Amino acid sequence: MAIASLVLGIVSIVMSLFFSSTSWLGTVTGIIGIILGAMARKDPEKKGLATAGLVCSIIGFVLSIIIFVACIACVGGIAALGISSMF
């Protein structure tokens, strides 16, 4: 679980930094990475790796949600502009 969390966290960071169109995927991998990392931290032997995975996943999730919600705000704004101009 600790290794899976680290891998998902790194994938999440890469998705959020380099691929704006797939940032929603970074959000998904970030959340799964956080869950796996938090669960894995309960095992004292794998706590270091799990903490690294948890931190990477949190960073990836936060960056992804900023980009993902950016997209929502833009499209929502354009939609509102289109509809208000119709009335």
Partner 1 sequence: MREYAPSDRDADAPVHCVDWEAIGLLRFIDLFGRSIPLYGICMATGILCASFLAAYSAKRYGLDVNSLIAIMAFAVGFGLIGAKVFYIVTVTGIGNFFAAISRGDFSDLVGSGLVYYGGLLFGMLGAYVGTRATHESVDDVCTAVVPAVPLGHAFGRLGCFCAGCCYGIPYDGPGSVVFPDLAPQAVVPVQLIEMACNLSLSAFLLLLRKKGFASGKGFLFLYLVLYGGIRFLLEFLRGDVVRGIWGIFSASQWVSLALMFASFAYLFAARRRSEEKLQGKR
Where does this chain bind partner 1 (CB under 8 A)? 21, 24, 27-28, 31-32, 34-35, 38-39, 41-42, 54, 62, 65-77, 79-81, 83-84, 87
In the bound state with partner 1, the residue whose beta carbon lies nearer, of 3 and 24, is 24
Residue 87 CB, nearest approach to partner 1 (Å): 7
CB atoms within 10 A of CB 8: 26
In the bound state with partner 1, the residue whose beta carbon lies nearer, of 10 and 64, is 64
Encoding tokens for residue 33? 């990475």
- CB of 58 within 8 A of CB of 34? yes
